[in-house]
Amino acid sequence: MFGSPTAIPSNSPHLRRSGSRPILSDLGIKLKGEAGNNFEEGSVNLGELFEMKTANSPMQVAAIMPFPILLRRFKVLLFIVWGFGCCKIGWDSVMRMSVDLRDLFLYEAFLYYNPLLLVTMMVWLWGVNLWVFAQSGVSYMKIFDLDQNHLTHREIWKSATWMTIIVPTSMTAYLYLYSHGEVSLAASQPVLLYAIVVMVLLFPFDIFYLSSRYYLLRTLWRIFLPLQPISFSDFFLADILTSMAKVFSDLERSVCRMVHRQVATIAWFEADSVCGSHSIAIPLVLVFPYMCRFLQCLRQYKDTKEKTTLLNALKYSTAVPVIFLSALKYHVLPDRWTNIFRPLWLLSSVVNSLYSFYWDVARDWDLSGFTRIFKFSKQYICSNLLYGRQWVYFWVLGSNLVLRCTWTYKLSAHLRHNYLTVFTITALEILRRFQWIFFRVENEWNKIKSGMQVSMSDIPKEEDKLIGSSN
């Protein structure tokens, strides 16, 4: 039974794919070609096929499969070498300076690059937000009204990677050139970096994610001039900008020194100079994001007549006395500051922190969303650690309250002498905003889903239509 020849048609669908050549096999016989002739060259037995397969497949797998892994490891190795090189060069450059000028120089260098480092951190965390939304089934495309060309979390992380490389490299070049006496070249490094950032944002051609850049610039324009109905993306980005008020303040002072040619000099050291620490522009820039959000709330009240928007506007207005009372220290007598304005500043700080914390929990978040946001479609370590865990409640509420209070430290100009402390507090505020985004977007997505369910329930069923027509 097994030794007899078996005739297998060459056009059998079980032997070949559609459009492919006939499969030649031999169980002790030869297959006929299309012309009916027997081809000695075309007859291949199963042993030869097996030998060809075992000879070629492992070699191909060994040659092709490890290449992406090796490339990834090579990139990681280059990144580690680059990071070590930047740290080594920067440390040696700082140690070359005298002890008297070292702190002043680090303070100035930190001022120029601190804003871009914090923005880079925010971009990294935004990519994490998008990844979690994608895994947990939250349609952020629908929430932010994005098109199909929006940036995914991978593209966000790719942009953040380039920012992580470019900004520290420029900072290292600044430290190296200044410590070696090339003051003019050192002064050009932050100016060149800021010019590149502006050019990339405003570049009109279809490269560097043109649609996403246009979406960002259009949203910023709508935030600065809230003359139109406010969308979710408008006030969502405006809320993020309030957490980056310190970034805008440092940007203003950096640009001021670049315009007045005070980069890599100590001309700014006088506190009462144009770009000094007593400048009136500092509180004005700090309060600007809050005023934008305040005007947005007024615009929302005009469109919706909801009284909660007025209460939200009141929340942002409580940041104004915190900022300006702090700035008064440099413009009033010390006794008046200690006896009058300092207690008022403390009171306004407590009111602002507690009011903002209450609004986060009661209005911006929906506590029922805490147990759904980290329920991923595929099981990850993050999902196993966070989904359904009670400690997530306590962590989010506790950290939000503490960071709301410490954030007042950053808004106060008279407490900003230690730049490392202020940088740490600003980074912690960005982390607070990072976790705030999860539950704010989840709350908005729940509202959209409930609205869709209500709209679907309003549609009459087919049976109701038939009964109504028969009546």
Tens digits of per-residue pLDDT, 61-82? 444 546 788 888 888 899 999 9
Count the neighbouring beta carbons within 10 Å of the beta carbon of residue 174: 26
Higher pLDDT: 226 or 455? It is 226
Rounded CA separation 86/89 (Å): 5
Cβ atoms of residues 35 and 16 within 8 Å: no
Higher pLDDT: 252 or 40? It is 252
Tokens in use for 395? 């962590």
- Residues with Cβ within 8 Å of 147's Cβ and at least 6 positions away in sequence, in order, are 211
Confidence of residue 207 (pLDDT cuts 50, 70, 90): confident
Which position has the token pair 């259009």? 218
Task: Look at residue 38 and tell me whether its pLDDT is greater than 50.
Answer: no
The end-to-end CA distance of the chain, in Å, is: 73
Higher pLDDT: 388 or 76? It is 76
Rounded CA separation 395/132 (Å): 18
Residue 261 has a pLDDT of: 83
Residue 47 domain-assigned (yes or no): no
Cβ atoms of residues 260 and 274 within 8 Å: yes
Please provide the DSSP assignment of 402-458 as one string.
Answer: HHHHHHHHHH-GGG-S-HHHHHHHHHHHHHHHHHHHHHHHHHHHHHHHHHHHHHHHH
Residue 43 domain-assigned (yes or no): no
- What domain count does the chain have? 1
Q: Which residues of 320-331 are buried (b: 16+ CB within 10 A; e: fewer)?
A: bbbbbbbbbbbe
CA of residue 382 relative to chain centroid, distance: 18
pTM as predicted: 0.77
Cβ atoms of residues 387 and 303 within 8 Å: no
For residue 203, the enclosing domain spans: 69-370+386-447
Cβ atoms of residues 428 and 410 within 8 Å: no
355 CB-side CA count, 13 A: 16
CA of residue 144 relative to chain centroid, distance: 15
Residue 54 has a pLDDT of: 47
Task: Look at residue 334 and tell me whether its pLDDT is greater than 80.
Answer: yes
Rounded CA separation 115/425 (Å): 13
The CA–CA distances, whole Å, from 11 to 17, 29, 33 equal 10, 17, 11
Tokens in use for 429? 């505020």
Residue 61 domain-assigned (yes or no): no
Residue 462 domain-assigned (yes or no): no
Residue 398 domain-assigned (yes or no): yes
Task: Look at residue 9 and tell me whether its pLDDT is greater than 70.
Answer: no
Residue 53 has a pLDDT of: 46
Rounded CA separation 166/419 (Å): 22
Cβ atoms of residues 136 and 373 within 8 Å: yes
Task: Look at residue 276 and tell me whether its pLDDT is greater than 60.
Answer: yes
H helices present in 137-259, as ranges: 140-143, 153-179, 183-202, 210-224, 232-243, 245-259
Residue 266 has a pLDDT of: 65
287-310 mean pLDDT: 92
Residue 15 domain-assigned (yes or no): no
Classify residue 43 by its DSSP letter: -
Q: Which amino acid is at 97?
A: M
The CA–CA distances, whole Å, from 242 to 48, 96, 248, 260, 362 equal 71, 39, 10, 28, 19
Count the neighbouring beta carbons within 10 Å of the beta carbon of residue 229: 12
Rounded CA separation 27/15 (Å): 14
Confidence of residue 351 (pLDDT cuts 50, 70, 90): very high
Task: Of 232, 212, 208, 91, give the one whose Cα is nearest residue 148.
Answer: 212
Rounded CA separation 440/188 (Å): 41
Residue 162 domain-assigned (yes or no): yes
Residue 469 domain-assigned (yes or no): no
Confidence of residue 288 (pLDDT cuts 50, 70, 90): very high
Residue 165 has a pLDDT of: 94
Which position has the token pair 């959209």? 448
Rounded CA separation 273/335 (Å): 24
pLDDT in tens, 407-466: 666 666 555 667 788 888 889 999 999 989 988 888 888 788 776 656 555 555 555 555
